[in-house]
Amino acid sequence: MAVIYVGSAAPGEGKTGVAAAIARGFAYSGSPVRLVRLVEDGSSAEADAAWFATLDFAPGSPEAPAASIPVASAGETLVVEGPLAMAPADAKLVVVAAEKAPSAANAAAVIVTGVDGLTGARLTEGPPLVIELGEDRALAGFSVSEARAMLNAEVLVPGDMDPTSDHLVIAPIGSDAGQPYLRRFESKAVVVRFDKTDQHLAALKANPNVLILTGGRRPSDYLFDAASANGVPVLLSRTDTENTVIALEGVFDKTRFHGDRKLDRMAELLAETGLLDALK
């Protein structure tokens, strides 16, 4: 069977995004592919597997972490994510490491994440092929559900909790300036005080992924109607604006890889590196 194994020495180094992008690349070239997430202590393996199972280009991907690598069907490629120590000797190995490339003579490729300045830079012809991925705003974006969990916020208006936001934006003082200012940010979560109805409406017209109200009190009923009509979820934080923003400061460091926006960006960064050719 054809197995591409994406491994790292520790959780959180970026292998979920790399594995998904590799699988999508093979699927889009016409090769049947499944994504398999192995059990890994201290990781978000269950959430990763559940997300893999929703990807249309990898039908049949198991929705729970596996204890071992399953048998592939004829002509199928398995893209497996797991701890580096569980990599089989006969797999094509992709090592993902944060900030510093490890010694990996048996790897087909080494991808170093979180470096300064470089995005999708191919450093060697290989083997192993060495690629550096710099810190990227889209890859670090946080989902609505992650913001809700960090704030322990109340959901005032339900909506899609999966979209990721590249920017956390505090609404300006005046509504006239609000729309032009907020529209500068393509993918955003907007933070505004609960009683600023004019700013709520201005923010909704700028197409945010989520509106986060601060101050812990119920806003005007106008907001409920407008947010529902625009399909924008609204969260209510119990603290004031300053402390809400402080609570969210670490969200970019703690977010996991999930959603179409991050997958599109990872695939874009890896597209010109020659990674797929090195794995064929």
d(CA 22, CA 275): 8
* Domain residue limits at 202: 142-254
Split into its structural domains, the chain has a count of 2
Higher pLDDT, 177 or 104: 104
| 151 & 229 share domain | yes
Model pLDDT, residue 258: 84
Q: Is-contact 87 97, C-beta < 8 A? A: no
- What CATH number corresponds to the domain at position 181? 3.40.1390.20
Place of tokens 């994440």: 113
- 220 and 96 together in one domain: no
**Do 263 and 220 share a structural domain?**
no
Residues 133 and 268 in one domain: yes
Indicate the pLDDT class of residue 194, thresholds 50, 70 and 90. Answer: very high
Indicate whether 131 and 267 sit together in one domain. Answer: yes
Instruction: Give long-range contacts, CB 8 A cutoff, 24+ apart: 96-99.
Output: 96/6, 96/7, 96/8, 96/13, 96/14, 96/15, 96/18, 97/8, 97/9, 97/13, 98/8, 98/12, 98/13, 98/14
Query: Does pLDDT of 152 surpass 70?
Result: yes
Number of helices (H) and strands (E), helices first, in the chain? 10, 14
- One domain, residues 127 and 185: no
Residues 13 and 128 in one domain: yes
Spatial separation of the C-alpha atoms in residues 3 and 78, rounded to whole Å: 5
Q: Are residues 90 and 60 in the same domain?
A: yes
Do residue 247 and residue 263 come from a single domain? no
Question: Is there a single domain that holds both residue 212 and residue 173?
Answer: yes
Residues 183 and 123 in one domain: no
Here the tokens at position 176 are 């006239």
Q: Does residue 83 share a domain with residue 205?
A: no
Instruction: Give the torsion sign (CA, 29, 31, 32, 38).
Output: negative
**If 0-12 CB within 10 Å is exposed, 13-18 middle and 19+ buried, where does residue 143 land?**
buried
**What share of the chain has pLDDT > 70, as a percent?**
93
pLDDT tens by residue, 31-88: 999 999 999 998 889 999 999 999 999 999 999 999 999 988 888 999 999 999 999 9
Q: What is the identity of the amino acid at 266?
A: M
pLDDT over 60 (residue 175): no
**Share above pLDDT 90 across residues of the chain, in percent, rounded to a whole number:** 64
